[in-house]
A and B are shown apart, each in its own frame.
Chain A
Amino acid sequence: MYKEQKVTKKLVEEHGLSSEEHQMIKNLLGGREMNFTELGLFSIMWSEHCSYKNSRPLLKLFPRTGKNILVGAGEENAGVLDIGDGWAVAFKIESHNHPSAIEPFQGAATGVGGIIRDIFTMGARPIALMDSLRFGDPSKPRSKWLAGGVVGGIAFYGNCIGIPTVGGETFFDKSYDTNPLVNVFCLGILRHEDIAKGRAKGPGNPVFYVGAATGRDGIHGATFASENLDESSEDRRPSVQVGDPFMEKLLMEACLELLKTGAVIGIQDMGAAGLACSCSETASRGNSGIDIDVTLVPQREKGMIPYEILCSESQERMLVIVKKGREKQVNDIFEKWDLHAEKIGTVTEGDEMIVRNKGEIVASLRAKDLTEHIPAYTREVKEPSYIRELTKNSRTAVEKALLKKDVNFSHALLKLLASPNITSKHDIYEQYDHMVKTNTAVLPGSDASVLWVKEADKILAMTCDGNGRFCYGDPLTGGKIAVSEAARNLTCSGARPLAITNCLNFGNPYNLDVYWQFKKVIEGMSEACLKFGTPVTGGNVSFYNHNPTGAVFPTPVIGMLGIIEKLDHITSQFFKEPGDVIVLVGPTGEELSASEYMNVMENVSVGIPPALDLEMEYNVQSFCREAIREGLVSSAHDISEGGLAVALAECCISGQKPAGAAVNLPYPAEHPAGALFGETQSRIILSVKKDKLTEFANFCGNHRVPHVEIGSVISEKNIKIFIQDKTFIDLPVEALEKAWRKGVL
C-alpha cells in the first residue's frame, strides 16, 4: 500500500501557503487536514502563478467586452476574436521569465511550447509567434549569455515546429540584470464552429492523457514562478523543463485532427501545474467531477509518487475528454502520429476531484477548491517616495543635457543608431524562421508584422510593445503609452486595432511600490484600451521579477491585433520613391526625459516619461489610417525610441533599398537635442506619394490634426536634417546603415 509523508505546519509553509490560507483550506475540506498529495495540489493551484490571487481584483478594471469577442478573458486558455466571414483568431501572450533567468535556452523554448498549446487547445491552428524580450545591461557578459540563450531557445522550438516568429521587440536595461523578461505571443486561426473548450462534461465520458510521458521535470515550476529570484534560484534549475518541439508538432497535428472528428468534449493543455491544473480546471469549468488514476499515466521515470505525477510540468502533454464510445477514434489518430493516448479516468457526477493510485484514493476534494475558492488580496496603494525624487532628478538631468554646447548631432545620431535598444535586430529575427506558412507580407523590421492569411483571405497586423522605463517614471502614463504605441504601430501598417492580450511583468506584489505601479499601469492601460476600442482578451501576470537589489521596471507588454481591409492598404515604414514628400503628423514636442538619448548620451536611464493626450493620439492615428486608405501614403513610421531623427534614419535604411532624405523642420526649436531626439508621443512620419500631393492637401483640409511638411525623399544617398534652414545632421546613408546594422548578439 502507498504510504505518504505526514503533513506538518512546517511542510505547509515550505509549500508557500500562509497560515491563513492553511486554515481556509482546512475549512474547505470540512475541518480535516489535507494529506501530502492534496498539499501538492493546493500549493500549486493556489500559487500566484496559477491563482492570480494578488492581481484578480485589479484585472477586473480592464475593459473585457466587445462585439467581436467570442471567448473572453479568463474564460478559457486563450481569448477568441471574430474577424469576419465565419473566421476567428485565438491569441495570447505569456511570460516564461523565471525559467529563462536560470536556464535561458530551455526556459524560452518551453515558453514557446506552452503558448502554442494554449492556442491549439482552442481548436485554432497556430500561424504566428512574436516575442517581447528584456535583458540587463548589454555590456555585461551575463546579459549576452541570457540573450543568446533565449533567442536560441525560441529559434529551436519555433523553427522546428514550423510556426513563423514574425516580430517582437528587444530592450536592454540594467533593471533586468538578474531578471530577464521573456514574453511569448501566439496567434492561431479557426472557424467559429471549431472553437474547442477546456471542460469536462457528461458523467461517464472518458478522460484521455495524450502526448509525451511524464517525468519528474518541472515539479512545482508554478510555485517557483511565484517567488523572488536570489542566489539559491540556481538550485531551481531542475524546475525548468526540457522542450521537444518535434513531439509538440506531432501532438498539435494529432489534436487538430482529433478535434475535426467531433468526438471531443473538452481539451486542455498541461502547462504550469500539469495534471493538477488540467484536471481541476476542466472539471471546474464543466461543473463536473473527475476521477483519475495516476498509475495509468504514461511515465518515463520509475517510482514516481502521486504527488509528483500530479505536479510534474513535463512538456508536450494534453488532457482530452471525449464522447463515450469514440475511444477507438482517439487511439487510431494518436497511433497514426506514434503518440501515447491513455484513458486515465472518467468524468463523474457532482463536483469531486478524485485521484487514485492503483485504485486507492489518494486525494479527494472539490475541483473548485483548487480553482475558484481561492482568496484574492487587495491592498491600499500609495504613491512611492521615489517618484518625487525622480521627478526632480529627471528635470535637472535634462536641463544639464540641453545646456551642453557643441554637441555633434550627427555623431549623436550614429551613436543612438548603434545603441542596443535601437540597432537593427536582424541578428535576432534572422535566427527565427519568419516566413514558413507563406503568409508573412511584411517581414520583421517594420512597425508591425503583417500576415496575409490566405485560407481566410484576411490580412492581420500584430505587434508587441511595452516601455518599462516610462512605466517606472509614471505607471499611469506608461500604461497609456504602451497601448497607444501598439495601436500606433498597427495604424502605421494600415491596420485598424481590434483587441489586445497582455503580459504584466512586475516585482513582488507584497512590495508597496510594486503594488502601486501595478494598479496604476492597469488604470492607464484600461483608459487607453477604452479609447481605442480594443478590449483585453486575456494574457498573464508575472510577479516576483524581483531580486535582492530590487524589482524590474514595471513592464506591461501589449500584444495587439489589428485587421487590414485590403492588400493595397498594407504599409511599411521604409521610404519608397525619391520625390515623395515627408510629413510629420502630430505635435512638435521636445520631451527628452526618460528618452533613449538621455540613456545613451547622458547615461541617465530613468526619468519622467513624456505626456500622453489620448484624444490627440486617437486623432493622429485616425488621420494616418484614413490617408492610407485613400491611397495617399507610401510609408508610415511611428516616432518612438530615439525621437524624430532616429525615426527618419530608420525610414531611410531599414528597407530593402536604402533611400536618402532632406528634411528641414520649419518650426523653431527651443533645444535642437529635444527637437531631434525627444520622444514626444502621438507622432507619425508619413511619406506622401509625389503624384498625390494635391489630393493630400485636400485631405488635410478636411482634418484638424496637426501636421507639417518637413522634407522629401531624395535620390542622393544622404540624410540631411535642418531646423529652420540651419544644418544639424548631414550624413551619408551608408554611415547610418553601418552604425545601425551593428546588431546586438
Chain B
Amino acid sequence: MKFGVVVFPGSNCDEDCLYSLKEEIRVNACYVWHKTTQVNEFDALVLPGGFSYGDYLRVGAIARFSPVMNSVIEFARKGKLVIGICNGFQILLEAGLLPGAMLRNRKLRFICRYVHLKVSNEKTPFSQYAQKDEVLKIPIAHGEGNYYIDDKGLEELKENGQVIFRYCLSDGTINDESNPNGSVYDIAGICNRDHNVLGMMPHPERCCNPLLGSADGKKVFQSMKRFIEEK
C-alpha cells in the first residue's frame, strides 16, 4: 500500500501529512511533485494544506491547473481514494471533484484552533474507524473555510450521505457557537457521490499524537488504510 502526498508550490502541510502517514499510521508514503503526471503507483492521494500558488487569484484556482491535477481526476474516477485537506479541499472544489465553493470565514479572519467534529456518516472509506455521531477533536487553520452550496446541492449531499463531518461543541451539540466559519449546514468535510473523494477543512494530520493535543486525526487515515487493505 502506498500513499502519495502531492506537493504544489506553496503547499506547507505536505511534510506533516507525510510524517503522520509514515510514523503514526505506519504506511508507505512519498511526495508527488506537481509537475508529474504519473500517479498510478499509489493507492491513495493526499492533497495537503498550505497556500498553493500563494492563494493568489482565488484559493485553489491556480493549483487546479497544475500538470498533476488531470491525473488526480483520472485517479479519482477509477475509484481510488483522494483526500484534500484544507487547501487540498479548496483545490478539489476548483477541480470539480467535489461540489460547492469556499468563501472567506464569516469574521473575515484566519482562524487556527482546535474544534470538534461530529461524524455524520461513518460508513465511508474516510470515517469507518469512527462511530456514528462520534465527536472528534481536530484543529482548523484557514481563512477561507466557509463552505457554500445551494439548497438543492445541500439536499443532494444529505440524501447521498456525502456530509461526513460537521462542526459541533465538545458534547456533540451543533449550534451557531460551534460553527467557526459560517459554513452552510456546519459542514467541515464532504465527499463525492461515490464516497472515494473527501475534502475536509480540519487537519487530521496535525493530531495523530496525544502530545499535540489529540490523536483523533488518526481515525481518518486508519479508515483509509483499512479500506485499501480490505479491497
Contact = CB atoms under 8 A, between A and B. Distances in A.
A436 B12 contact: yes
Contacts of A429: 112
24 contacts: A159-B143, A160-B12, A162-B12, A247-B54, A249-B9, A249-B12, A337-B9, A429-B112, A431-B109, A433-B141, A436-B12, A436-B16, A436-B141, A436-B206, A437-B15, A438-B16, A438-B205, A438-B208, A438-B212, A440-B212, A441-B211, A443-B213, A452-B211, A454-B23
B184 interface: no
A112 to B, nearest CB: 14
A246 B51 contact: yes
A432 B143 CA distance: 10
B179 to A, nearest CB: 15
Contacts of A567: 211
B9 A162 contact: no
A211 to B, nearest CB: 14
A567 B203 CA distance: 24
Contacts of B15: 437
Nearest to B24: A438
Contacts of A249: 9-10, 12, 51, 54
Given A160-B55, A245-B54, A337-B9, A437 B16 contact: yes
A435 interface: yes
Contact of A436 (B13, B20, B53): B13
B51 A160 contact: yes
B116 to A, nearest CB: 12
B13 to A, nearest CB: 6
Given A438-B16, A438-B205, A443-B213, A431 B9 contact: no
B111 A160 contact: no
Contacts of B206: 435-436, 438
B231 interface: no
Contacts of A250: 9-10
Contacts of B13: 162, 436
A647 to B, nearest CB: 24
Interface in A655-703: none
Interface string B196-216: 000000010110110111000
Contacts of A730: none
Contacts of A438: 16, 19-20, 205-206, 208-209, 212
Contacts of B203: 435
B88 interface: no
A613 interface: no
Contacts of A155: 110
Interface of A: 155, 159-162, 244-247, 249-250, 337-338, 426, 429-438, 440-441, 443, 452, 454, 567
B170 to A, nearest CB: 9
B4 interface: no
A131 B65 CA distance: 36
Most buried by A among B109, B112, B213: B112
Given A162-B12, A441-B211, A245 B111 contact: no
B78 interface: no
A734 to B, nearest CB: 15
Contact of A441 (B51, B139, B143, B212): B212
Contact of B51 (A245, A435, A437): A245
Contacts of A434: 112
A245 B7 CA distance: 17
A161 B205 CA distance: 18
B152 interface: no
A162 B16 CA distance: 11
A159 B212 contact: no
Contact of A246 (B53, B109, B139, B143): B53
Contacts of B208: 438
Nearest to A437: B16
Given A430-B112, A438-B16, A160 B54 contact: yes
Interface string B119-150: 00000000000000000000101010000000
A250 B205 CA distance: 23
A707 B19 CA distance: 44
Given A245-B51, A431-B110, A437-B15, 6 more contacts: A161-B12, A430-B112, A433-B141, A436-B13, A436-B206, A438-B16
Interface string B22-56: 01000000000000000000000000011101111
8 smallest CB-CB distances across A and B, nearest first, come from A162-B12, A246-B54, A160-B51, A433-B141, A438-B16, A433-B112, A431-B110, A430-B113
A433 B110 contact: yes
Contacts of A338: 9
A246 B51 CA distance: 8
A441 to B, nearest CB: 5
Contact of A431 (B51, B112, B209): B112
Nearest to A567: B211
Most buried by A among B54, B111, B205: B54
Contacts of B56: 246
Contacts of B10: 160, 246, 249-250
B141 A159 contact: yes
Contacts of A443: 213
A159 B211 contact: no
A204 B113 CA distance: 52
A364 B19 CA distance: 52
A432 B13 CA distance: 15
B18 to A, nearest CB: 11
Nearest to A745: B109
B212 A435 contact: yes
Contacts of B109: 431
Contacts of A160: 10, 12, 51, 54-55
A389 to B, nearest CB: 44
A494 to B, nearest CB: 13
B50 A162 contact: yes
B53 A435 contact: no
A737 to B, nearest CB: 14
A454 B205 CA distance: 14
Nearest to B17: A438
B110 A159 contact: yes
